[in-house]
Amino acid sequence: MDYVIEMLDIRKEFPGIVANDNITLQLKKGEIHALLGENGAGKSTLMNVLFGLYQPEKGEIKVRGEKVRITSPNVANDLGIGMVHQHFMLVDTFTVTENIVLGMEPKNGINIDLKRAEREVQEISDRYGLKVDPRAKIADISVGMQQRVEILKTLYRGAEILIFDEPTAVLTPQEIKELIQIFRTLIAEGKSIILITHKLKEIIEVCDRVTVIRKGVGIDTLDVEGTTPTQLASLMVGREVTFKTDKTDSNPKHNVLEVTNLNVKDSRGVNAVKDLNLTVRAGEIVGIAGVDGNGQSELIEAITGLRKVTSGKIELNGKNLSSYKTRKITEAGVGHIPQDRHKHGLVLDFPIGDNMVLQTYYHKPYSKYSMLNNKEINKQAKKLIQEFDVRTPSEHTPARALSGGNQQKAIIGREVDRDPDLLIAAQPTRGLDVGAIEFIHKRLIEQRDNGKAVLLVSFELEEIINVSDRIAVIYDGSIIEIVDPKTTTEQELGLLMAGSKNKAGETENV
Partner 1 sequence: MFSQFNRWQKILIPVISVILGLLVGAIVMLVSGYNPIEGYAALLSGSLGEGFYIGETVRQITPYIFAGLAVAFAFRTGLFNIGVEGQLLVGWVASVWVGLAFDLPKIIHLPMAVLAGAAAGALWAFVPGLLKAKLRVHEVIVTIMMNYIALHLCNYLVRYVISDEQNTTERVPESASLKSPFFETLTEFSTMHYGIFLALAAAIIYFVVLEKTTTGFELRSVGFNQHASEYAGMNVNRNIILSMVISGAFAGLGGAMEGLGTFGYGFIHGAFSGVGFDGIAVALLGGNVASGVILAAALFGILKQGALIMPLESGVPTELVEIVIAIIIFFVASSYIIAYLLQRLKKGAK
Residues in contact with partner 1 by the rule CB under 8 A: 304-306, 325-331, 336, 338, 343-350, 354, 358-359, 361-362, 367, 370-372, 398
Q: How many CA atoms lie within 13 A of 417 on its CB side?
A: 20
Give 319 or 328: the residue with its C-beta nearer to partner 1: 328
CB of residue 14 to partner 1, shortest distance in Å: 11
CB of residue 292 to partner 1, shortest distance in Å: 19
- Chain center to CA of 315: 30
CB of residue 294 to partner 1, shortest distance in Å: 22
| DSSP-derived pairing of the beta strands 453-458 and 285-289 | parallel
Asked if residue 176 lies in contact with residue 183, where contact means CB atoms within 8 angstroms, the answer is: no
CB of residue 300 to partner 1, shortest distance in Å: 11
CB of residue 336 to partner 1, shortest distance in Å: 7
CB of residue 343 to partner 1, shortest distance in Å: 5
Give the span between the Cα atoms of 177 and 33, in whole angstroms. Answer: 18
CB of residue 361 to partner 1, shortest distance in Å: 5
N-terminal to C-terminal alpha carbon distance within the chain: 60
Give 156 or 324: the residue with its C-beta nearer to partner 1: 324
Give 55 or 185: the residue with its C-beta nearer to partner 1: 55
Give 15 or 109: the residue with its C-beta nearer to partner 1: 15
Q: How many CA atoms lie within 13 A of 385 on its CB side?
A: 22
Asked if residue 127 lies in contact with residue 165, where contact means CB atoms within 8 angstroms, the answer is: no
Give the span between the Cα atoms of 402 and 413, in whole angstroms. Answer: 15
Asked if residue 245 lies in contact with residue 445, where contact means CB atoms within 8 angstroms, the answer is: yes
Give the span between the Cα atoms of 314 and 308, in whole angstroms. Answer: 12
CB of residue 326 to partner 1, shortest distance in Å: 4
Amino acid at 346: L
Give the span between the Cα atoms of 487 and 177, in whole angstroms. Answer: 24
CB of residue 71 to partner 1, shortest distance in Å: 17
Give 223 or 349: the residue with its C-beta nearer to partner 1: 349
Neighbours of 443 (CB within 10 A): 21
Give the span between the Cα atoms of 275 and 281, in whole angstroms. Answer: 20
Give the span between the Cα atoms of 377 and 441, in whole angstroms. Answer: 27
CB of residue 384 to partner 1, shortest distance in Å: 16
> How many residues are recorded in the chain?
510
Amino acid at 361: Y
Asked if residue 213 lies in contact with residue 35, where contact means CB atoms within 8 angstroms, the answer is: yes
Give 147 or 296: the residue with its C-beta nearer to partner 1: 296
| Residue 420 to residues 111, 171, 414, 453, 492, Cα–Cα distance (Å) | 61, 31, 11, 9, 33
Write phi, then psi, for 5 (nearest 5 degrees): -135, 135
Give 349 or 484: the residue with its C-beta nearer to partner 1: 349
Neighbours of 436 (CB within 10 A): 24
CB of residue 261 to partner 1, shortest distance in Å: 26
| Residue 502 to residues 179, 474, 498, Cα–Cα distance (Å) | 27, 11, 9
Asked if residue 502 lies in contact with residue 475, where contact means CB atoms within 8 angstroms, the answer is: yes
Give the span between the Cα atoms of 417 and 410, in whole angstroms. Answer: 10
CB of residue 400 to partner 1, shortest distance in Å: 9
Give 159 or 416: the residue with its C-beta nearer to partner 1: 416
Helix axis angle, 434-449 to 229-237, nearest 10°:
100
Give 56 or 435: the residue with its C-beta nearer to partner 1: 56
Give 97 or 360: the residue with its C-beta nearer to partner 1: 360
Give 255 or 326: the residue with its C-beta nearer to partner 1: 326
Give 99 or 408: the residue with its C-beta nearer to partner 1: 408
Residues near 393 by beta carbon (within 8 Å), at least 6 away in sequence? 401
